[in-house]
């Protein structure tokens, strides 16, 4: 192991206790700990874990390999100046960027894969609804008996309708909101804005693109609005695909009214 400004026997790690400047590329296959400031003018690849307690500026690309974590302590910053392409953080083939307690400013466009904005909720058990389980595409409503929680919808024109469980039909959540350890959290992502696939029941009326949708007596299923007086305050959104008869998934543009 090697240490700079610290114990030279660092147990296989590179420890930089002061400031560091690297003029070329940097590759870390073990653990890296930077307690001062670091500037890297080339490409940086981290295949294991990195902890930054100072400021890290990378004037090239930054790559975090699968299983690698970059910990940026409070009061420190990570600046990536990459003019040749996007900044990507990948884990096992998927891209994930987790940001806690920071402000993100997009000067042009901010593109997120997915098609809806969802919030995390606790969804109450629905054993009284023919053992119907909550799954992606189901319509959910506010649970009056449990503050902050939702339940599977089970009545027509329900004015407590809250949204559609995200993730059905291969459309994933784009942005997910929630605060861990508070009433504003849960295990179920419920879409409140955007496009999602939703379970619908066309026995109450054939559904065509553009039809307004509300809750139905079929647990977790939407239906076409036919009574506009009753639907006031219970609109879930607009159908973007049709369903002539029976039950099935339809694409919905959520617009709670």
Q: How do the pLDDT tens digits run along the chain, 257 residues long?
A: 444 555 445 455 566 666 777 777 777 766 677 777 777 777 777 766 777 777 777 776 676 665 566 676 766 666 766 656 656 655 555 555 555 555 666 666 766 778 888 999 999 876 444 446 789 999 999 999 999 999 999 999 999 999 999 999 999 888 888 888 898 999 999 999 999 999 999 999 999 999 999 999 999 999 999 999 999 999 999 999 999 999 999 999 999 88
φ, ψ of residue 136 in degrees (nearest 5): -50, 135
User: Given this model, what pLDDT does residue 235 score?
Assistant: 97
Say how far apart CA 55 and CA 34 lie, in whole Å: 9
Helical H runs in the chain?
A: 228-231
From 157, 125, 155, select the one nearest 228 (Cα to Cα): 157
3-state secondary structure of 203: helix
Give the contacts of 109 (CB within 8 A, at least 6 positions apart).
none
Distance CA 240, CA 111 (A): 23
User: Among 180, 177, 181, which Cα is nearest to 166's?
Assistant: 177
Query: What CA–CA distance (Å, rounded) separates 50 from 177?
Result: 27
108: Cβ contacts below 8 Å, ≥ 6 apart = none
Q: What is the pLDDT of residue 110?
A: 65
What's the pLDDT score for residue 257?
Answer: 85
3-state secondary structure 12-72: CCEEECCCEEECCCEEECCCEEECCCEEECCCEEECCCEEECCCEEECCCEEECCCCCEEE
Q: How far apart are CA 46 and CA 62, in angstroms?
A: 8
Contact criterion met (CB below 8 Å) for 244 and 211: no
Parallel, antiparallel, or unpaired: how do β-strands 90-91 and 116-121 relate? unpaired
- Count the neighbouring beta carbons within 10 Å of the beta carbon of residue 81: 12
Pairing of strands 235-239, 222-224: unpaired
Residues forming a β-bridge with 187:
none
Is the pTM higher than 0.75? The answer reads no
Give the residue carrying structure tokens 């629905």. 126
Residues 3, 26: Cα–Cα separation, whole Å: 16
Q: pLDDT value at position 104?
A: 65
Check residue 3 and give its pLDDT: 47
Residue 91 structure tokens = 């884990």
For 53, residues 6+ apart whose C-beta sits below 8 A from its C-beta are: 33, 34, 35, 73, 76
Return the pLDDT at 35.
73
How wide is the angle at C-alpha 33 spanned by C-alphas 7 and 84, nearest 5°? 140
């Amino acid at each position: 192991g090697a240490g700079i400004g610290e114990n030279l026997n660092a147990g296989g790690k590179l420890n930089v206790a002061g400031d560091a400047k690297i003029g070329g590329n940097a590759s870390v296959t073990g653990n890296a700990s930077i307690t001062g400031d670091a500037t890297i003018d080339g490409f940086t690849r981290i295949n294991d874990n990195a902890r930054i307690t100072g400021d890290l500026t990378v004037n090239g690309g930054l790559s975090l390999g699968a299983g690698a974590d970059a910990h940026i302590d409070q009061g420190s910053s990570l600046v990536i100046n990459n003019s040749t392409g996007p900044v990507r953080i990948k884990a096992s083939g998927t891209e994930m960027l987790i940001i806690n307690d920071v402000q993100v400013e997009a000067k042009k466009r901010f593109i997120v894969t997915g098609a809806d904005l969802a919030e995390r909720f606790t969804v109450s058990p629905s054993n009284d609804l023919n053992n119907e389980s909550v799954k992606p595409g189901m319509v959910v409503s506010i649970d009056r008996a449990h503050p902050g929680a939702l339940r599977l919808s089970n009545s027509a024109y329900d004015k407590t309708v809250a949204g559609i469980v995200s993730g059905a039909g291969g459309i994933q959540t784009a942005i997910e909101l929630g605060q861990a350890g508070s009433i504003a959290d849960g295990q179920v992502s419920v879409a409140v804005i955007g496009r999602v696939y939703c379970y619908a029941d066309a026995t109450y009326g054939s559904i065509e693109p553009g039809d307004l949708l509300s809750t139905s007596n079929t647990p977790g299923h939407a239906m076409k609005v036919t009574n506009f007086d009753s639907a006031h305050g219970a609109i879930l959104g607009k159908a973007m695909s049709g369903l002539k008869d029976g039950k099935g998934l339809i694409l919905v543009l959520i617009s709670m009214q």
